[in-house]
Amino acid sequence: MKLISEYIAPWALSNEEIPIHLVWDPSFEYKSIQVETPEGITVKDFFNVDSIEKRGSRLTINALKTPNYLGFLVSSQKVHQKPHIRKEIKVQFISSDNEKHSHSFVANIYRPFLTLIEKPKKVILSDDSNLRNLVSISLKLQGFGRIRTRFEISTGGEFRTRAEPLYREVVRRMISSLKLDETSSEEKKDIEIDAIRLQAIAKEFIGKMKKGEFPLDVGKEDLKDFQRWMSDEKNQTQLADLVSRHLESILIDSLLFYLEKYPTDDVELAQGKPVTLIERATRGIRIKIHYWDSLENEYEPIDVLIPIEDNRADKKTRIEIPINIRWKKELINPLAEASKCQTQELKRH
């Protein structure tokens, strides 16, 4: 059997479709082709196949549409515990006198792996504490693939997800300018950027607010007033005007948010740098770090518990403390991994 082309995509995440193909010299004769997949690997689609039969994990192709080309897509639908797994897929050509020509492919499936390596034993809060550097944790990213993280932070009761800072800031500022009744006092800023895009963003913000999606740390009374004002038909033009007047702030926030959202390669903090609010009677912070890969596969979250000792004179004042993260990375390079596997195979032969 003379192969003209063979291929399997060299690396993939779980649920990523892995293309495989074989093209051979048309003079090669065979009766049927068997495709065998290991547990956890499914065939998502066949190319150029006319008739197929299934028995257990073995698929028998009795006819191809054009005689010298077979293609298919496989994927691993489970999220694995190990950062890298190898799965063998066998393709066998069976001739009329039962002679077999085997061909095997290896699917290399990777995942990102996040672990906590360091956290403070206890955080002591006093009146002269430097809040910026008070809470630091270290995380290690291993395996392969970009991650998106979301921090849920709780200081007692339920977990709360932080509102996008950009959005939070805008709402906060809009509410304060309403309260001060200075809707027309601030001069219009000259912003030379895509106006249509900005309009669309403004519309999106209004949409969010109308749906009642408000930042959590806006005072309840303010919020009620604002919602009442907003739902009044009379105020619609003013509302649009208010959002557009804050566009420069939106732009600055969006730039800053962007700059703090990607602390290191391969990591996205979906909500920017995490912060926690310390309120009266806060005894500890619980951080739940959720993370996903680029295909939205979700991995087991990390739970971090940090006890707090509040020694401030005035414990009633709410304070915001940023959570600093140090990143350590030990990532796998699938290309190097592939050549390592080849060397091992050569040694075995």
Q: Judged by CB, which is closer to other proteins: 281, or 335?
A: 335
Output phi, psi for 116, to 5 deg: -90, 130
At 271, list the tokens.
């909500």
Q: In whole angstroms, give the CA distance from residue 240 to residue 202.
A: 7
For tokens 């048309």, the residue is 26
Q: Judged by CB, which is closer to other proteins: 43, or 230?
A: 43
Q: Judged by CB, which is closer to other proteins: 59, or 239?
A: 59
H or E element, residue 109: strand 100-110
CB 266 within 8 Å of CB 147: yes
Q: Judged by CB, which is closer to other proteins: 145, or 321?
A: 145
Residues in the chain: 349
At its nearest, how many Å lie between other proteins and the CB of residue 307?
A: 31
Q: Judged by CB, which is closer to other proteins: 21, or 103?
A: 21
Q: In whole angstroms, give the CA distance from residue 160 to residue 275.
A: 11
Q: Judged by CB, which is closer to other proteins: 54, or 210?
A: 54
At its nearest, how many Å lie between other proteins and the CB of residue 278?
A: 21
State which amino acid sits at residue 186. E
**Torsion from C-alpha of 254, 255, 260, 263, nearest 10 degrees:** 120
At its nearest, how many Å lie between other proteins and the CB of residue 58?
A: 9
At its nearest, how many Å lie between other proteins and the CB of residue 177?
A: 5
Q: In whole angstroms, give the CA distance from residue 207 to residue 202.
A: 9
Q: In whole angstroms, give the CA distance from residue 168 to residue 160.
A: 14
Q: Judged by CB, which is closer to other proteins: 191, or 281?
A: 191
At its nearest, how many Å lie between other proteins and the CB of residue 120?
A: 26
At its nearest, how many Å lie between other proteins and the CB of residue 284?
A: 30
CB 326 within 8 Å of CB 138: yes
At its nearest, how many Å lie between other proteins and the CB of residue 293?
A: 8
Q: Judged by CB, which is closer to other proteins: 123, or 209?
A: 209
Helix 195-210 to helix 247-261 angle (10° resolution) is 90
Q: Judged by CB, which is closer to other proteins: 25, or 303?
A: 25
Q: In whole angstroms, give the CA distance from residue 254 to residue 166.
A: 6
Q: DSSP label at 192?
A: -
At 219, list the tokens.
């005072």
For tokens 């897509």, the residue is 73
Q: In whole angstroms, give the CA distance from residue 229 to residue 235.
A: 7
Output phi, psi for 126, to 5 deg: -130, 175
For 253, half-sphere exposure in the C-beta direction (CA atoms, 13 angstrom radius) is 16
At its nearest, how many Å lie between other proteins and the CB of residue 65?
A: 4
At its nearest, how many Å lie between other proteins and the CB of residue 136?
A: 19
